[in-house]
Every structure is written in structure tokens, then in C-alpha cells.
Chains A and B, each alone.
Chain A
Amino acid sequence: MRRHSAHVNANGLAELSAGLISGRRATRIHAHLVGCQRCASVSAGLSGVRVLLASVPPSPMPEAVTARLGAAIAAEAAARSAAAAAPEQLTRGHTPQPAGTAGDGPPRRRWPGWTSPAAARAFATAAAVCLVAAGGYSAVQLTSPGSSGPSVSAGPATRTRIGTAAGPYHVGASRGGGQVPAQPAFSVVISGIDYNRSTLSAQIESELSKLSRVGPDTQAGKAIRRTPTAQQDACALEVTSGVTPTLVDAARYQGHPATIIALTQKGNPYAQAWVVGPKCSGTQSDQLTHVWLYASGG
């Protein structure tokens, strides 16, 4: 079997160059390459591929991503510390398991704020980097530990909003220091929609997808956004157990004034939403209905 004329395909040549072919077969291919322009060219091409791949310089992690991940890790650390310090406070959260104990099984994603109100509050107090999210908008506020006091009382839960299509995380250093107002972590949309019982899920999903897809500029022209009143702020956090809601829409439900509060979790295709009446406050939810949504990870 001395068929030096047999061509070798690209896979074979790549395997040869990777040292995966040895012995007689390697010798045979090498001999073939000497006399075959075509296979020699493919072989050179494969080397070229390696060179090309190596020639692409690795880009450093963008600052915005560093800030976001750093904040997520800081929040995780604060939640862990809070869980260690005050485990009895964790009973009210969405996740019965205290932070930091997810040792076994597949890791479940739990973002700060989602874990528990206590942990979220602790994060707001303790973390030097604070991620504030309002609907589709995102802002990273770099605050010193001392200046985070006011924002704790107004918006106790901070939640890292991740992967919004609206995009960049603005580092609000210029708004830092003592100038940081007691700012709620979300804003209220006034969509003008009259949500209907039979189409509620679809309507909310549609609004949520707008939040994640439409940038602030275009969004501004479509729906009015307001800073929540103290009652709205307290109501939303009462309903979500302290987690910053993704969507708060002061709208109507079945023809009556109502507020739609939706909570999504990145990476979790399921979201939930509450419809609450005008009496909703920090002490009662005045809940009209609650639905689970399929938000497809938005």
C-alpha cells in the first residue's frame, strides 16, 4: 500500500500537524506532501489558520462589564455576610435557602435582591458599589459606604439588572457623594394601558419586552416615566418582598385604576406579576391578581 498519490483531506492534515498521526501513516502523508502541491497548500493553509487565530488580540474586559460583575460579586458577598449575621431574617425571601449555602447540585442563579430583602438591604448598606436599575434603564452608582444611607430608606432593595438590551451601565460618579438623593431604584411607567383579565399575561409580557428592547431615547416618547410616589415605592416593595421590580405600570385593570408590578430574573424564563389596587401601600398589597409569566429570559 504505497499510494503516495492519495490526497489527504484537511482533517487528516490538521491531525498530522497536531501530532495525532504517527508511524507509517505519518510517513506516508509526509511523503505525499512533498510531491503534492494541492495538499501542501492545504497544509500551509491550516498553519495559516493557527496564525490568524493567534493574531486576534484578546480584548480586556470592558469597564462596564467589570463594574457590573464586580457589583454582582459584592452583592453576593454582602448577602452572604448578611445571611451569616442574621439568618432569622431570611424567612421572608423568595428563596428559602440562605445565601451562600448552595453547595450541592447545579448552581442556581440568584441575584442580589432576589435572594431576600434582608440581604438586599444589607447590600445597599454595605456595598460600596451599588447597582440601581429602573425598568430597562440601568445605572451603576458608585457611592461611598457613608453616602448610601438615604437610598436605603427610600429604595431598600437594589438589584443588579443584567443584560438589558438598553445597554450601557453608566457609572454615575458625578452624581455621587452627598448629592445622591433618596432615590427609588425604579421608575413608574404610565403606559395608559387598560389591562384585561383574559389578556393580562400577554400584555405584561409585551410591556416587559419593550423595557428590555427599547432604549431610553425611544422609550421616552412612548410612555411616561415618573419617579414613584412614596406610596408606590412602598407598595411595590411590599408586593415583591423588597426586590426592585422590573416593571411598575400605573395603569388600569378591567377598567379600574390599578398598578401592574412585574418581576423578572435574568436567566430565569419565568417572571411574575401582580396587579394591585389603589390601596396598595407598605402595609397592605391590595392585590387584585397575580400571574406567572414566561418571559423567555428577558
Chain B
Amino acid sequence: MTDRIFPELSDAQLLKRHLQGEPDAFGQLFLRHRDRLWAVALRTLCDPEEAADALQEAMISAFRRAGDFRGDSAVTTWLHRIVVNASLDRLRRRTAHAVSSVGDEGTLDLLATQGRVPATTDPASVRDTALDVEAALRLIPPEQRAALVLVDMLGYPVADAAAVLEISPGTVKSRCARGRARLLPYLEHLRSSTPAAEVGPEAGFSRNRTATGSVSPGQGGDG
């Protein structure tokens, strides 16, 4: 629906056109992947204003540094990487301002004592669940959050998340595992109030992967 101008071109071809000076090519690339990039920035930063700022920063950076793209990964992986890095940079700056001498653990403890993950009043409400999840996500270290956003929330394969984050698949798994363990105390109440049929392990991982997050960054339209 967004490919009005170059529907026939792959991401890599669009990027090439951009480098050749085609003024609309990069905008097209942005439109094509905006929802997924938005989801990554929004979930990582937990703040729409910050997410929009980070995305703008990332897109302008990608626009200017398109020549750095080497083609050893998908264009979407590269775009995701720039967005994740812009988001994490922002978080680090914000954390540095907020609690200057405290590391991740200290930050977490501090936030944990201040933050109150609201109890879900209506377990059937997806919106409430989403709010609770978002609130809980704020309480875990950014690196773990970024990994969880890509793998658990957006459903990207570990290998793709590893390429985006430029870390090994094992590190992605480890961050995800630690992030889940961290989240557990904050989200347990949701689980206990959710119908048992929905929380069995077998119910989990194919659900809700239908919308914008369903395609992994490695599956972009590269030709």
C-alpha cells in the first residue's frame, strides 16, 4: 500500500537508487518498514515522543550513511540496527542524566522501588495487559529489553536479532533469558489472572505474530 513509487524494487535496489541520487528512494524505504521500525523504537524506549525522535535521528543517519551499507546483511537488518542503536544511545543519555553514578543494576533497583506495575483490573483487556507489559519493560536493563523486543515481542529469529544487535546468538539468548527472569515478578500477576489455557508453553509462540512484527528483518525484500 505504501509502495506507490517503486513497488517493483527490492530494498537493496531502493538503497542503490538512493545512493545514485534518486530523491524519493529512501523515503520509500522508510515507508515500507516504518511500522516495524516504530515498534522497535517504541518498545525499546517506552515513550512515543522519544521513539519518534530516535527514529528521526536514525532515519537521517541512515539516509546519510547509506554508503556504509555493505550488503552483508539485509537492508532491513541494517535499518533495525541503526534504530536500535539510536534508541539505546538515547536511553544511555537519559540514564546518565537521571542517575549519574548508578549502573544498570542500581538503576533497576531504583526504578523498581519507584515504579509500580499496575495490577490488571480486567484480565480480558488486551490494552491493560499491554500497558502492564510496557510498564514492566521499563524496569529491565535496556540491552535485555532490546533483545526481548526483537525476539519475544516482534518474533524475530534469534539469528536475525543477533545480526541487528551485532552480538552472538548465544548472547541474544542469554539476554532474553535474563530479561524474562527479571520480568517474571512484575508480570506474574497477569499470568495468574489469565486463563490457564492461554499461558501454557504450547500456546505461546505462534500467537499474535500476524501484524507488522511478523516478518523478521532478515526476510526483507532483498533481491
Q: Please list the residues of chain A having a beta carbon within 8 angstroms of any beta carbon in chain B.
A: 9-11, 13-15, 17-20, 42, 44-62, 65-66, 68-70, 72-74, 76-78, 80-81, 84, 100, 102-103, 107, 109-111, 162-163, 165, 266-267
On chain A, the residues within 8 Å of B53 by CB distance are 162-163, 266-267
B49 to chain A, nearest CB (A): 6
| CB within 8 Å for A81 and B21 given contacts A18-B173, A49-B183, A52-B190 | yes
| CB within 8 Å for A53 and B148 given contacts A61-B38, A69-B30 | yes
Considering only residues 176-223 of chain B, those with a C-beta below 8 Å from chain A are 176-178, 180-181, 183-184, 187-188, 190-191, 194, 198-201, 203-205, 207-209, 211-213
On chain A, the residues within 8 Å of B26 by CB distance are 73, 76-77
Residue of B nearest to A73 (CB): B27
Known pairs A14-B180, A52-B191, A69-B30 / 15 extra A-B pairs, C-beta < 8 Å: A14-B176, A15-B174, A18-B173, A47-B199, A47-B201, A49-B152, A49-B180, A52-B187, A58-B35, A58-B36, A58-B43, A68-B56, A77-B27, A162-B56, A266-B53
| CB within 8 Å for A48 and B199 given contacts A10-B181, A14-B177 | yes
| B70 within 8 Å of A (CB atoms) | no
Residue of B nearest to A72 (CB): B56
Q: Are B199 and A51 in contact (CB under 8 A)?
A: yes
Q: Are A65 and B38 in contact (CB under 8 A)?
A: yes
Q: Are B173 and A20 in contact (CB under 8 A)?
A: yes
Q: Are A73 and B199 in contact (CB under 8 A)?
A: no
> Contact check: which of A9, A18, A56 meets B174 at CB < 8 Å?
A18
On chain B, the residues within 8 Å of A47 by CB distance are 199-201, 204
On chain B, the residues within 8 Å of A109 by CB distance are 57, 60
Of B30, B177, B194, which is in contact with the most chain A CB atoms at under 10 Å from its CB? B177
Residue of A nearest to B149 (CB): A53
Residue of A nearest to B35 (CB): A60
Q: Are B48 and A62 in contact (CB under 8 A)?
A: yes
Task: Spot the interface stretch: B8-16, B61-69, B99-107.
Answer: B61-69
On chain B, the residues within 8 Å of A74 by CB distance are 23, 27
> Contact check: which of A15, A76, A100 meets B177 at CB < 8 Å?
A15
| CB within 8 Å for A61 and B35 given contacts A102-B64, A162-B53 | yes
Q: Are B129 and A84 in contact (CB under 8 A)?
A: no
Interface SS of A by simple majority: helix
Q: Please list the residues of chain B having a beta carbon within 8 angstroms of any beta carbon in chain A.
A: 21, 23-24, 26-27, 30-31, 34-39, 42-43, 48-49, 52-53, 55-57, 59-61, 63-65, 67-68, 126, 129-130, 133-134, 148, 152-155, 170, 173-174, 176-178, 180-181, 183-184, 187-188, 190-191, 194, 198-201, 203-205, 207-209, 211-213
Residue of B nearest to A53 (CB): B152
Q: Are A11 and B177 in contact (CB under 8 A)?
A: yes
On chain A, the residues within 8 Å of B187 by CB distance are 48-49, 52
B30 to chain A, nearest CB (A): 6
